A and B are shown apart, each in its own frame.
Chain A
Amino acid sequence: MKDASWVITLLFGVLTVGFVVGTIVPRRFPTRRALNVLTRVSLVSVGLGGLLGTWLGAEVLFFRSTPLRLSIWPTPSPAASQGQVVIPFLPLDFYADRLTGLFLLIVGFFTLILAVYSWGWLARDPRRHWVAGAFNFFVLALFLTLLVNGAFWLLLALELVTLASSYLMLYRSEGTRNERVQEAGRVAVRTYLVISHISIAFLLTAFLLLGLRAQTVAAQAPVFSFDTYRHFFRTGAQVPHTGMDSVIFLLLLLGLSIRAGMIPFHFWVPIAHPELPTNTHAMMSAIMLKIPVYLMIRLLLELFPPQAWWWGGILLLLAGGTALLTVFYALVSPDLKRALAYHSAENIGIIMAGLGFALLFQYQTKEGVMFGQLTQLALIAALYHTVNHATFKTLLFMGTGSFERRTGTVVFKELGGLLRLYPWTAVPFLVGALSIVGLPPFNGFVSEWLTLQTIFAGGQALRQVASPALLVLTVVTLLALGAAFALTAVAFVKIVSETLLGPPAAVRSRYRGSWAMHGTMVLLALLCVVLGMAPFLLLPALQRAIQGLTETPSPVHATSMTLMVRLSEQDGLAYHASISLIPTLLLVGTVMLVGGIVWRALARARVSDTVWAGGEPFVPRKMHYSGTAFSFLIWEVMARDPEHIKPDHPLPAYYRVTETRAVPELVNRWYNRLILLTLQTSEWVGNFVQGGDIRRYLIYIFATFLVVLLATLLLRQ
């Protein structure tokens, strides 16, 4: 206990120091050399913070039998607080069970990786100290979100995350005089702040109702402590289900899905995320979006377990829709950062599909042991994808950052041919792309397979409880995910071909990157291969992480050769499936063997010639088949003439794909209408209701007085 408090104190201390060093100290010492040193110090402190977080996570996950508890400001005992005013939510205590441990590990490890990467990436940036300092603050807020054990402090930590990321969002617009870029920055910050606060409002209402609900059972319980919820809802049976529970669930779901960027709230992700400097954009898209995943497992599975079948169903529908819709818009995005941000939302959809099934199965656990096992399977699939997405998305963003440093742009039209120019960055980027598409030797395949197995086995189990609605839901999810997987492949052929292949981009910077950037990218690319070929290394960690949620033995087994899902007949469902290294090794072996033969043949006799294009001379700049043309058959379904789309404000109403075609962003248009309506209403309120005329205000006072009087009279009788 003692050593853990020491680690936590040091963790927050180091990050605070890094924040101060990066953002406040430079005002006193604005020389170039001083800034270099301060940036370095700040990056070391964030790296140290990442290391400490990794250590803490590993300790909690692997070496601790009971959850870690730490009271910073303890609850005053009833005897001591006699006659004093007790503020009910203020006690701050930290709580970390194994699930927290896993997420601490993820956040810590990738913070460390990105800190090392930033060493090279920030080296020549004019605002390097500022980015490094804000990075500290951001990571601090993330750790706080994971560790707190009460609703009040959770909301505060989420606010801090919002504050840190909107602070970083000023990066692009502050460094330029270009008015359009500045406007985009303003829209991003505004959108992000508004949407976060709407999310917080939903969560706050949900927690208030949840606390009141807990108090109906035990009057003295502190309203906001997670321990209260843990105690009352975990045991489930004693607390009868009421309509209020469904309202609480919907509020929680709304609040969290806004934060996770699920439809119809996905619009803020591609608007807000690309404004961040690319190193922290990786942190935000690959890691921060996982916080709602953690909270969803914590709140909806542990503290407030599902009490109706449609709770999981609604999450499944949202997840399927998210995966499908966002991958489509990723396909028409004009720049790399925006496309990758959309893909983050898509992967959240895949993770949430796992969670949706977990909710569904958790509700059904009364039907038998098999549903307990299926809950485990669904959770393992979701968590495996969480880890995988963190890995390959961080890798892809690091690649994007490196390309951005050299070419000065992330717009697809200005990129190209980078595979020849920068193979050390391009090949890891390619590995990241293969992983996100989910192709066999890489890690995306394992988690997609686990998700599909959840659907297959789950469909069979739901068939046994004979509920047609659930069966249809399963089919719909399968349909959406299948289409999303296929479209991801198209989207990444487009992304890879427009950045890595084709005629070379203009190189604006002589900076070729440093060992820190190449090294971390190669490391993560290797990690993608390892997680894809050796799932037995990660699986025990995931199984430990969810041990607290279900008691049943895990249906997923791994050996060094195979990964197997097995439910046995006596548990109510006979089902088994496996993937093994045999086909993978056959594949890799054949590629190496045939590749070697072809390479030797080419080394002996290689005939080069111009590209054959049907007899015409091939002009690369003019005739090279672009990624936009490649994906034409897909996006064309939604394309309109841009002249026919009304220019809309403030969110982008459409993406211009070619000169003459544009794809409308339907959800944004809908939101624009809503925003304009809000503006009009507030204008009316400003001009008419609050007109500034003293007589009008006197009427208001009189009217209020009358209403109160009438109400009192009526209520008395």
Chain B
Amino acid sequence: MAKYVAWMAAFFFLSPLTPGILHRVKARLLARRGPSLFQPYRDAWKLLHKGMVIPESATFLYTFGPIVAFASYWVLGYLHPPFSTSAASMTSGADVVLIAYLLGLARFMMALAVLDVGAPFGAMGSSRQFFFQALAEPTFFIALSTLIARNHTSNVHSFSTRQEGMHLEVGLLLALFALVIVFLAEGGRLPFDSPETHLELTMAEGGPALSYSGPLLLLLEWGNAMRLTFFLLFLAHVSAIILSPVPVDRWTRLWFWGVEGFIFLTLVVLLGVLEVHIGKLRLKRVVAPFALALILAITSVLLM
């Protein structure tokens, strides 16, 4: 119990470090010095002390959107096992399918919030997010079914690590690649959506954020940081499961979490490299990477 509380608190407070590191990496790759690692916290502090401007046409749904999005992104953290447990509880209810539903809840309430106001920027961005979701969701479920078939459970807390003498799991690797593409789309990263710009022609994620100011914007930004952290952590966890041996005693367990942390940092750097080197795809072109992800996912099911 205490471990879960500590983990959820750590997930909440440390998440903004991920975009901090990411910005630093990207700046370095472009030969700039870049902001401090703690810049997201400073931005948060600034936003917290600003006022909120509420549009005249707004109902309660407008304020409800960012709050629900924030809450569901935080609860995503529950779907990663806390650091010190290895014997997972079967009834913890940390089902992988919940990832899709929590993201769906956040997206749905944000869509209602921006349509409540009615300004075109937010609604257009939200509409694009739903387009991505419609393309990503089947792939997501199929890739998850590979993960589930391998672990004999859909409970993340009971995912088992590599057994002795197991050969390299090719199916799982393919599923992992499919998940990477799905998460890039769901997380609003390049090449699907460019997180840095606020140009209405390119944005999906940025659109809804334009309707908000002050503490409500803070909720959105912090939520996005938590979502990004969760995606990378989840990928790191699954990769660590493939690579590292069974944690039996304290030292192997420590080794396991060390491997996972290392993969996590590598993924942050890789994301930075990716975002510096590629541009955003035209809206209709995103079908191609989704098709690739779908093929990978289906192949992974058949290979498992």
Write out the residue numbers on chain B whose beta carbons fall within 8 Å of the beta carbon of A577. 95, 148, 153-155
Q: Does A184 contact B (CB under 8 A)?
A: no
Establish whether residues A613 and B119, one from each chain, have CB atoms under 8 Å apart when the complex forms: yes
Q: Which residues of B contact A578 (CB under 8 A)?
A: 90-93, 95, 155
B94 touches A (CB below 8 Å)? yes
Within 8 A of B (CB), among A416-445: 419-420, 434, 437-440, 445
- Indicate if the CB atoms of B138 and A482 lie closer than 8 Å: yes
Which A residues lie within 8 Å of B97 (CB)? 449, 452
Q: Is the interface of A mostly helix, strand, loop or mixed?
A: helix
| Residue of A576, A578, A630 contacting most chain B CB atoms (<10 Å) | A578
Bound-complex Cα distance A438 to B103 (A): 12
CA distance A602 to B112 in the complex (A): 20
Q: B78–A583 contact, CB under 8 A?
A: yes
Contact partner of A482 (CB less than 8 A), chosen from B124, B140, B283, is B140
Known: A583-B94, A598-B216. A606 touches B145 (CB 8 A): no
What's the dominant secondary structure at chain B's contact region?
helix
Write the B108-141 contact mask toward A (1 if CB under 8 angstroms, else 0): 1001101111111111101110110110111111
Complexed CA–CA distance, A611 and B200 (Å)? 16
Closest chain B CB from A580 CB (angstroms): 3
B211 to chain A: closest residue by CB: A612
Closest chain B residue to A459, Cβ basis: B145
Per-residue contact bits, chain B 284-304, to A (CB 8 Å; 1 contact, 0 not): 000000000010001001101
Contact A486 B101 (CB under 8 A): no
B56 touches A609 (CB 8 A): yes
Binds B, one of A260-268, A488-496, A682-690: A488-496
Residue from the list B75, B152, B283 in contact with A575, Cβ < 8 A: B152
Whose C-beta in chain A lies nearest to the C-beta of B101? Answer: A440
Docked CA distance A502–B123 (Å): 12
Q: Can you name the residue of chain A whose Cβ is closest to the Cβ of B150? A: A460
Residue A629 lies at the interface, judged by CB distance under 8 Å to chain B: yes
B31 at the interface (CB under 8 A from A): no
Shortest C-beta distance, A441 to chain B (Å), equals 9
Taking a contact as CB atoms closer than 8 A, the residue among A478, A624, A632 that contacts B118 in the complex is A624
Chain B residue total in the interface (Cβ 8 A)? 83
Given A501-B115, A607-B53, are A583 and B75 neighbors across the interface (CB < 8 Å)? yes
Question: From residue A458, how far is it (CB to closest CB) to chain B in Å?
Answer: 10
Number of cross-chain contacts by CB at 8 Å: 252
In the complex, whether A700 has a CB less than 8 A from a CB of chain B is: no
Once A583-B93, A590-B75, A609-B55 are accepted as A-B contacts, the answer to whether A634 and B123 lie under 8 Å apart by CB is: no
- B140 to chain A: which residues have CB within 8 Å? 482
How long is the Cα–Cα vector from A625 to B59 in the complex, in angstroms? 16
Query: How far does the alpha carbon of A564 sit from the alpha carbon of B152 in the complex, in Å?
Result: 14
Q: How far is the CB of A635 from chain B (nearest CB, A)?
A: 11
A429-B92 Cα distance, complex, nearest whole Å: 32
**Residue numbers in A under 8 Å from B107 (CB-CB):** 489
With A439-B104, A576-B155 as known contacts, state yes or no: A583 contacts B52, CB within 8 Å: no
Interface residues of B (CB under 8 A from A): 8, 51-57, 59, 61, 63-64, 67-68, 70-72, 74-75, 78-79, 90-95, 97-98, 101-102, 104-105, 107-108, 111-112, 114-124, 126-128, 130-131, 133-134, 136-142, 144-145, 148-149, 152-155, 158, 200, 210-211, 215-216, 219, 283, 294, 298, 301-302, 304
Given contact pairs A564-B90, A598-B67, a sample of 10 additional A-B residue pairs in the complex whose CB atoms are under 8 Å apart: A482-B141, A486-B137, A577-B95, A590-B70, A591-B68, A612-B55, A612-B211, A625-B120, A629-B123, A631-B127
A-B residue pairs in contact (CB < 8 Å), sample of 25:
A437-B108, A440-B102, A456-B154, A463-B149, A478-B141, A481-B141, A482-B141, A483-B137, A497-B115, A501-B112, A501-B118, A574-B152, A575-B152, A582-B78, A583-B93, A595-B67, A598-B52, A601-B52, A601-B215, A611-B56, A611-B118, A625-B114, A625-B119, A630-B126, A634-B130
